[in-house]
């Protein structure tokens, strides 16, 4: 119940402090602090008066002042390369879920894949006294690793395995998954495989997926034909479209193409449709990520399913555990993935 006669309650007034509450209740500020934090027993009489004063003034403890004393802010810093991408949205969702359970909040920053900005953000988050930091980067190289070493705040890296350091990280075995999807294509009887790769600068979704593809071919003794390998500078629909166009310009045509992500596969599919090449009869297609889009296109895409949400969730859990018990600096976690076979590679559809 709010008292109508109280001006503080109308928004915009200057913030009321613990001091005013104390005065109004006729007690000292420490007593107010004690009832609010339940840190020490306080007599019922005072407690009641204080609670009422709090109610009347609409007092809320200043979280900044509190953070300063307790040396923790209850905030987790999150750095992602971009937000407009279901993969990263999923990560954030997973992190947010854990943060909420932990009564923490997240500070979100976008790096635009710029290593410099990532290092800078790491520093800024440290200066801002984040309790922990989660970094999702497309590529973690030398200078970024150094920046991580310099960090005096617990952190977890997503999407990359940091070999040398036993840094806690959560990642997906992209190489293995690409290997599996490629093997599947070979198992289906497709002999001549092409790939539309993402930028190799991106270690996880670019380079590793290409390598997995190459390894599968090598293991089966299939040749790798350079004109069927195209590296695009992005992971967008358009990249898939252009990539397929480029592949079709080769003198011969592969009978199956692995695309580094579903979005690219969808673009490739569009080009194939326009070219009158049926999928999978004329050419099979496989993607990666199992985005919603993968089951919307026609034919639906064979792809690799994995859970960005789970990655975010696991990463945040790792971090939170570390916060509660710094001794368990936690190790790597590999998120499972799964081959999902759909019509884009099944010859009998």
Partner DNA sequence: CTGTTAGCGCATTCAG
Partner DNA sequence: CTGAATGCGCTAACAG
With respect to DNA, which residue has the nearer C-beta, 66 or 236?
Answer: 66
The span from the CA of 215 to the CA of 211, in Å, is 6
With respect to a copy of itself, which residue has the nearer C-beta, 222 or 270?
Answer: 270
> What is each CA distance from 312 to 93, 107, 171, 236, 308, in whole angstroms?
7, 14, 10, 23, 6
Residues near a copy of itself, by CB under 8 A: 9-15, 58, 60-65, 67-68, 73, 75, 82-86, 89-90, 92-93, 96, 100, 105-110, 123-124, 126-129, 148-152, 237, 266, 270, 273, 292-293, 296-298, 309
Q: Closest distance between a copy of itself and the C-beta of residue 166, in Å?
A: 14
Q: Closest distance between DNA and the C-beta of residue 34, in Å?
A: 6
Q: Closest distance between a copy of itself and the C-beta of residue 36, in Å?
A: 11
Q: Closest distance between a copy of itself and the C-beta of residue 88, in Å?
A: 8
Residues near DNA, by CB under 7 A: 15, 17-19, 26-31, 33-34, 36-37, 39-43, 45-47, 59, 61-62, 65-66, 68-71
- Quote the tokens at residue 93: 């969702």
With respect to a copy of itself, which residue has the nearer C-beta, 63 or 224?
Answer: 63
With respect to DNA, which residue has the nearer C-beta, 124 or 200?
Answer: 124
User: Cβ neighbours of residue 313 under 8 Å, at least 6 residues apart?
Assistant: 94, 95, 97, 98
The span from the CA of 128 to the CA of 123, in Å, is 9
46 binds, among a copy of itself, DNA, none (CB under 5 to 8 A by kind): DNA
- Quote the tokens at residue 156: 């977890």
Q: Closest distance between a copy of itself and the C-beta of residue 231, in Å?
A: 23
Q: Positive or negative CA dihedral for 280, 283, 287, 292?
A: negative
With respect to a copy of itself, which residue has the nearer C-beta, 10 or 249?
Answer: 10
292 binds, among a copy of itself, DNA, none (CB under 5 to 8 A by kind): a copy of itself
With respect to DNA, which residue has the nearer C-beta, 129 or 295?
Answer: 129
> What is each CA distance from 62 to 21, 81, 106, 193, in whole angstroms?
13, 32, 18, 61
User: Cβ neighbours of residue 247 under 8 Å, at least 6 residues apart?
Assistant: 194, 196, 227, 228, 230, 253, 254, 257
1 binds, among a copy of itself, DNA, none (CB under 5 to 8 A by kind): none
Q: Closest distance between DNA and the C-beta of residue 43, in Å?
A: 3
DSSP H or E stretch at residue 37: helix 29-37
42 binds, among DNA, a copy of itself, none (CB under 5 to 8 A by kind): DNA
266 binds, among DNA, a copy of itself, none (CB under 5 to 8 A by kind): a copy of itself
With respect to a copy of itself, which residue has the nearer C-beta, 78 or 216?
Answer: 78
User: Cβ neighbours of residue 334 under 8 Å, at least 6 residues apart?
Assistant: 171, 172, 173
DSSP state of 292: G
Q: Closest distance between a copy of itself and the C-beta of residue 262, in Å?
A: 10
- DSSP assignment of 73-126: -SEEEEEES-SSSHHHHHHHHHHHHHHHHTT-EEEEEE-TT-HHHHHHHHHHHH
DSSP state of 43: -
The span from the CA of 333 to the CA of 319, in Å, is 12
* Local structure of 194: helix, strand or coil: strand
With respect to DNA, which residue has the nearer C-beta, 65 or 296?
Answer: 65
Length of the chain as a residue count: 349
DSSP H or E stretch at residue 334: strand 333-335
347 binds, among a copy of itself, DNA, none (CB under 5 to 8 A by kind): none
13 binds, among DNA, a copy of itself, none (CB under 5 to 8 A by kind): a copy of itself
Q: Closest distance between a copy of itself and the C-beta of residue 186, in Å?
A: 28
DSSP state of 261: S
């Amino acid at each position: 119940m709010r008292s109508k006669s109280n001006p503080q309650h109308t928004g915009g007034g200057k913030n009321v402090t613990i001091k005013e509450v104390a005065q109004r209740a006729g007690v000292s500020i420490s007593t107010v602090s004690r009832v609010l934090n339940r840190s020490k027993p306080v007599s019922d009489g005072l407690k009641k008066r204080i609670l009422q004063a709090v109610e009347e003034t609409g007092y809320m403890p200043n979280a900044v002042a509190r953070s300063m004393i307790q040396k923790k802010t209850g905030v987790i810093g999150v750095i992602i390369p971009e937000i407009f991408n279901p993969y990263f949205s999923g990560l954030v969702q997973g992190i947010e879920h854990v943060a909420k359970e932990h009564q923490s909040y997240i500070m979100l920053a976008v790096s635009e894949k710029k290593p410099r900005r990532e290092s800078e953000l790491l520093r800024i988050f440290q200066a801002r006294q984040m309790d922990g930091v989660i970094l999702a980067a497309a590529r973690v190289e030398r200078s970024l690793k150094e920046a991580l070493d310099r960090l005096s705040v617990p952190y977890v890296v997503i999407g990359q395995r940091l070999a040398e350091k036993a840094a806690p990280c959560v990642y997906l075995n992209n190489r293995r998954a690409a290997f599996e999807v490629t093997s599947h294509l070979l198992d289906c009887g497709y002999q001549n495989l092409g790939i539309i790769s993402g930028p190799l600068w991106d270690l996880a979704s670019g380079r590793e997926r290409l390598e997995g593809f190459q390894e599968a071919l090598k293991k089966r003794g299939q040749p790798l034909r350079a004109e069927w390998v195209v590296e695009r500078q992005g992971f967008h629909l358009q990249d898939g479209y252009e990539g397929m166009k480029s592949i079709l310009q080769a003198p011969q045509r592969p009978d199956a193409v692995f695309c580094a992500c579903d979005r690219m596969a969808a673009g490739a599919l569009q080009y194939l449709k326009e070219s009158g090449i049926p999928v999978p009869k004329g050419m099979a297609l496989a993607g990666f990520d199992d985005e919603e889009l993968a089951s919307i296109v026609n034919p639906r895409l064979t792809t690799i399913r994995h859970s960005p949400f789970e990655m975010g969730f696991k990463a945040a859990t790792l971090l939170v555990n570390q916060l509660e018990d710094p001794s368990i600096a936690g190790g790597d976690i590999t998120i499972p993935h799964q081959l999902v076979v759909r019509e884009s590679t099944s010859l009998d559809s």
